[in-house]
Chain A
Amino acid sequence: MSSIAVATTINDDDVEFLCQPDETLLDVLRNRLGLMGAKEGCGTGDCGACSVIMDGRLVCACLVLGAEAQGRTIETIEGMATGSELHPLQRKFIEHAALQCGICTPGFLMAAKALLATNPNPTETEIRFWLAGNLCRCTGYDKIIRAVQDAAAEMRGEIS
């Protein structure tokens, strides 16, 4: 198999890489670009641990080919904080102890970010349905939901 040259934008940086035709975007991020935030849980789009945002849409990086990234704009967890300043979602996940082992957390944060970008004031039901594709075996989800609600309130400018 011959390698494919791909030019893309990741977290506002122009990035070029070579990948195999059958290589997933998740493998490219982790193995070629050193962006280890997206995790491989299942590799079949069930767990959401590899969630990234591509052209504004939340996707599983394990279900995207690296070659498909050509000309796209990709956001990963590595681009979420601004320097050392955490994104409100990241800060609220810590404050609410919305994580234990942490494997699912980057995926939850990207999914929650994508939700709040389109719906700044989601109901609990909307949050639960939106995050249904992100599996967490530690928290029981309630703390995650509260963290997202709290971060959303702060991002709307409400005192929390």
Chain B
Amino acid sequence: MRYERPETIEAAIALLADAEAKSFVLAGGTDLLVRMQNDTFEADLIVDIKSIEGMDAVTQTDDGFLIGAAVSAAALSENAALVAEWPGVVEAANLIGSTQIQGRCTMVGNLCNASPAADSVPALVAADARVRIAGPDGSREVAILDIPTYPGKTSLTKGEIIVAIVLPKAATRSGDAYLRFTPRTEMDIAVVGVGINLTLDEGGVVAAARIALGAVGPTVSLVEEAAKALIGSKLDQAALDALASACSAASNPIDDKRGTIAFRKQVAGVLARRVAQTAYTRAGGK
């Protein structure tokens, strides 16, 4: 196995595009190094992208935020402007693992590991974030929703690297939030995760909503029916009931030791109510 630390994105792509080699991108390493401990793990090449300029930077632009692929969860929480504008995204990333993990783990890594239970992914989908991809055939930008295709699989092709997450500028009177259910308080994997982003009109009525569910299907899902349940409401009881029903109905979870299908479906609705109320308050709703 080789370890390479290229200083340009072009060099990184050239290394990864080598068709003969089984290669992996290394940023925070909190998933990759765990996999490397496994006796069955095989790799020809590890490409550490942390020496490439911009990878560890959070940049505020006129259109929102550009978050480099190697920015750790801890660094996100230290960026006051980002926390103020997208608190749900930052809190989701900082639910991943322990303090030690948060010092290294990245949202792009969370996305590319393609676990259905990834905490930051539903929050990013709710925020309508996109990713900027560089590859042998040039650059492209796609929605977060289009990256994971199956547990452990992504739509990235050989030689492609996600270089940054593109978070839009948060709309006026909007707020986002994320919650997950875990049997333990800390250091656990989501049984259900819900990310919600709400935008209100001047009267405090929900004008736009994005509701994303994690850990209740093979990939993250955006639930249009749940958004419809909230739009036009001030989060009254009937709207919240309709939201919970829509989220439970949209859940398609597996049965496993951490939660049964029936339990996960119900918890998706319970969490959605709580997350919607937090997002509504953050958007300025009363």
Residues of A within 8 A of B (CB): 1, 4, 21-22, 24, 43-46, 48, 51, 54, 57-60, 62-65, 67-68, 70, 111, 114-115, 129-134
A-B contact pairs, 22 of them (CB 8 A): A1-B2, A24-B33, A44-B34, A45-B33, A45-B97, A45-B98, A45-B100, A57-B72, A57-B74, A57-B103, A57-B104, A58-B99, A59-B100, A63-B101, A64-B29, A67-B48, A68-B29, A68-B48, A70-B5, A114-B99, A129-B186, A132-B185
A24 to B26, CA, bound (A): 13
Residues of A within 8 A of B187 (CB): 46, 132-133
A103 to B185, CA, bound (A): 24
A48 to B103, CA, bound (A): 13
Q: Is B36 an interface residue, CB under 8 A from the partner?
A: yes
Residues of B within 8 A of A (CB): 1-3, 5, 26, 29-30, 33-34, 36-37, 46, 48, 50, 72, 74, 97-101, 103-104, 185-187
Residues of B within 8 A of A133 (CB): 97-101, 187
Q: Is B99 within 8 A of A65, CB to CB? A: no
Chain B nearest CB from A112 CB (Å) reads 11
Residues of A within 8 A of B3 (CB): 4, 21-22, 65, 67
Q: Is B186 within 8 A of A132, CB to CB? A: yes
Instruction: Using A67-B3, A129-B186 as known contacts, say yes or no to A45 and B101 having CB atoms under 8 A apart.
Output: yes
Chain A nearest CB from B202 CB (Å) reads 38
Secondary structure class of chain A's binding surface, majority of residues: mixed
A62 to B50, CA, bound (A): 18
Residues of A within 8 A of B37 (CB): 43-44
Quick one: which of A63, A64, A70, A131 has the most chain B CB within 10 A?
A: A63
Which of A45, A54, A70, A129 is B30 in contact with, Cβ under 8 Å? Answer: A45
Count of A-B contacts judged by CB separation below 8 Å: 84
Q: Is A65 within 8 A of B33, CB to CB? A: yes
A62 to B33, CA, bound (A): 8
Q: Is B103 within 8 A of A58, CB to CB? A: yes
Instruction: Using A1-B1, A57-B104 as known contacts, say yes or no to A22 and B36 having CB atoms under 8 A apart.
Output: yes
Which of B46, B72, B104, B185 is A63 in contact with, Cβ under 8 Å? Answer: B104
Residues of A within 8 A of B26 (CB): 65, 68
Chain B nearest CB from A74 CB (Å) reads 13
Which 10 pairs from chain A and chain B are nearest by CB? A133-B98, A21-B3, A57-B103, A132-B186, A63-B33, A60-B100, A44-B34, A133-B100, A67-B3, A21-B1
Q: Which residue of A lies closest to B28 (CB)?
A: A63
Instruction: Using A45-B30, A64-B29, A132-B187 as known contacts, say yes or no to A21 and B99 having CB atoms under 8 A apart.
Output: no
A138 to B127, CA, bound (A): 43
